[in-house]
Chains A and B, each alone.
Chain A
Amino acid sequence: MNTQVLLGQLTIGLVNGCFYAMLSLGLAIIFGLLNIINFAHGALYMLGAFAAYLALQLFGINYWYALVLAPIVVGAFAILVERFFLRRLEGLDHLYGLLFTFGLAIALEGIFRDRFGSAGLSYSVPDQLRGLIDLGFMRLPTYRAWVVVASLFVCISVWFLLERTRYGSYLRAGTENPRLVQSLGINVPLLVTLTYGLGAGLAAFAGVLAAPIYQVHPLMGSNILIVTFAVVVIGGLGSTGGAIITGLGLGVIEGLTKVFYPEASSTAVFMIMAVVLLIRPAGLFGQES
């Protein structure tokens, strides 16, 4: 076994895992408060990548600004969607929220595929992050290291926001019992809107990070989203830490499959999901009643 290949795939797996972690974290936050599975999450991730691409092409805005601006723009778009459409579905069967966001995802992907084709556009790695870091036992592309550091930082920040701040305590309380929280004088509808924006911003941030690694592609979102769903089924939506750990772990396992049995690499996560469902039907961290 070639150690270089193994380590290379491991880092690719870790990078993929970071994306799974960020996306499943966003899904979990949105699900907690809105009680819907945000099917448009992949499309929002794709929007983030395209926002970075278009900002560079049209206005010459570089990667670092895009990393901040894209989540804000996409988050604002998501806030409008929540305020004007998703809110109307409150109190109905949760499936309608899923179906609405499903339609939104199809429409967004359709618009971008119509405008940019399905060939995939390249976004170059920013100058500061080109090259390799020599770790002694392997050479790690600087950008991959950056993705891991940046996404772990964001995941931990979000975890901190949820578990250690006042906003987080409102949010967790709202997940438990929105009516009681409302009666304590907290503006729950605003909280819901902001939370959807936060989840969307997180997806867009992941999209910008992904732009230089994968190509900017209209279907990049739905491909990764379905794997993220499997990750969410394995980890359960109940725990923030669980979502992060499961995402990273599955990315690494997927990377290892590419080394040892490449034919199964695209299906590895799904197979693990099937096994987990057989052994622990509620998922690894789930406490489903």
Chain B
Amino acid sequence: MRTTWIFLALIAVVGAIAPFSGLYPLFLMKCMALAIFAIAFNFFTGYVGLLSIGHAAFYGMGAYFGGYAVKNYGITTEMALLIGMATGAVLGLLFGLLAIRRRGIYFAMITLALAQMVYFFCVQAPFTGAEDGLQQIPRGKLFGLIDLSDDLSMYYFTLALLLLALLVAQYLVSAPFGQVLKAIRDNEPRAVSLGYDVQRYKLIAFVLSAALAGGAGSLKAMILSLAGLPDAHWTNSGAVILMCLLGGLGTALGPVVGAVMVVLLETELAGVGVVEIGTFRLDLSTKVPIVIGFIFMVTVLLFRKGIVGEIQAALENFRRRRLEKSAT
């Protein structure tokens, strides 16, 4: 717990100086918006233990609705974020009511199928701009006062939101509510016999997660001035699953680490371009999905706890050994 606070402070400090280290604020902001998305996903799947393959629907619809409102009605930035969250929450409630009673794999398939329905809706609906997406979405003014069209001010606003999301998720997880979620994840029949309304806890967690995912979507729409079909596509759900799996499901910082790694991987591979070794020629920029797929498989086979999870386990091991040594 104390280490989490130290890392939070570390993220704040590193985040505050990062734009002056030569990294592009836009790149960093993209990482942070996806990190919030991953935090949302992790809050549900990591602590409830049900796999959702539908989170792209919340993220994508949040991006469309928030983006549409800020573009056409000139609302303030925080209102657009709230609209994104509300969109995610409503959609999450609908998904949850249908899916939450089904176990494990069925839950995964239902969320995927419902998200695909939302995706087809986005393809056909008039306001989404189909293949072009919603373009030139403005960032609005924060509280109607602070203009965020400048990248650096938007950057610090995004950083503040990331820290807030981390804090809220951490609070919810350590609060009695989160403890009940973990109890359900670890042994559902026991939680039922203790008198907890298990379905309601799961549903609330799912709606909270969906709301945060929707907020992340509208944030991303304002950062990149764009909301499009890829945001709502199932591959985006796959990407967020990978971020959390790679970083560490059910850990506080795993989603942030995973999001940074996945975005880095995508941009780096695309940036490397063509590699030539003798007569062997390989264009890496088109290989991103292949690499993503293989990382998925390797992570599942070799380090299921993810990067942060494995480090935590190693630290735990080290501490226990030291305790044993001092006891003898």
Q: From residue 103 to 127 of chain B, which have CB atoms closer than 8 A to chain A?
A: 103-106, 108-110, 112-114, 116-117, 120-121, 123-124
Whether, in the assembled complex, B241 has its beta carbon less than 8 Å from a beta carbon of chain A, the answer is: yes
Q: Of B136-144, B218-226, B258-266, B291-299, which stretch is located at the interface?
A: B291-299
Total A-B contacts with CB atoms under 8 angstroms apart: 123
Q: How large is the interface on B (under 10, 10 to 19, 20 to 34, 35 or more residues)?
A: 35 or more
Whether, in the assembled complex, A263 has its beta carbon less than 8 Å from a beta carbon of chain B, the answer is: yes
- Distance in Å: Cβ of B57 to nearest Cβ of chain A: 12
Looking at the complex, which one of B108, B110, B124, B290 makes contact with A114 (CB distance below 8 Å)?
Answer: B290
- Distance in Å: Cβ of B96 to nearest Cβ of chain A: 11
Produce 1/0 per residue, A83-105, CB < 8 A to B: 00100110011111011101111
Assess whether A266 is in contact with B99, with CB atoms less than 8 Å apart. no
A112–B133 Cα distance when bound, in Å, is 27
Q: From residue 261 to 289 of chain A, which have CB atoms closer than 8 A to chain B?
A: 263, 266-267, 270-271, 273-274, 277-278, 281-282, 288
A116–B251 Cα distance when bound, in Å, is 39
Looking at the complex, which one of A106, A109, A232, A273 makes contact with B296 (CB distance below 8 Å)?
Answer: A106
Whether, in the assembled complex, B149 has its beta carbon less than 8 Å from a beta carbon of chain A, the answer is: no
Looking at the complex, which one of A37, A266, A274 makes contact with B109 (CB distance below 8 Å)?
Answer: A37
- Distance in Å: Cβ of B297 to nearest Cβ of chain A: 4
* Interface residues of A, dominant DSSP: helix
Assess whether A88 is in contact with B294, with CB atoms less than 8 Å apart. no
Residues of B within 8 A of A278 (CB): 98
- Distance in Å: Cβ of A253 to nearest Cβ of chain B: 15
* Interface residues of B, dominant DSSP: helix
Residues of A within 8 A of B99 (CB): 277
Assess whether B51 is in contact with A95, with CB atoms less than 8 Å apart. yes
Whether, in the assembled complex, A108 has its beta carbon less than 8 Å from a beta carbon of chain B, the answer is: yes
Looking at the complex, which one of A99, A107, A111 makes contact with B300 (CB distance below 8 Å)?
Answer: A99
Residues of B within 8 A of A267 (CB): 117, 120-121
A288–B101 Cα distance when bound, in Å, is 11
A233–B294 Cα distance when bound, in Å, is 28
Assess whether A110 is in contact with B113, with CB atoms less than 8 Å apart. no
Assess whether A114 is in contact with B98, with CB atoms less than 8 Å apart. no
A230–B103 Cα distance when bound, in Å, is 15
Whether, in the assembled complex, B273 has its beta carbon less than 8 Å from a beta carbon of chain A, the answer is: no
A281–B100 Cα distance when bound, in Å, is 10
Residues of B within 8 A of A271 (CB): 117
Looking at the complex, which one of B98, B296, B301 makes contact with A102 (CB distance below 8 Å)?
Answer: B296
Whether, in the assembled complex, A11 has its beta carbon less than 8 Å from a beta carbon of chain B, the answer is: no
Assess whether B110 is in contact with A277, with CB atoms less than 8 Å apart. yes
- Distance in Å: Cβ of B36 to nearest Cβ of chain A: 22
Residues of A within 8 A of B295 (CB): 103
Q: List 11 A-B contacts (CB under 8 A).
A: A36-B105, A89-B300, A100-B300, A102-B241, A102-B296, A106-B238, A110-B288, A113-B289, A114-B289, A227-B116, A288-B103
Binding site for B on A (CB under 8 A): 31, 36-37, 85, 88-89, 92-96, 98-100, 102-111, 113-114, 222, 226-227, 229-230, 232-233, 263, 266-267, 270-271, 273-274, 277-278, 281-282, 288
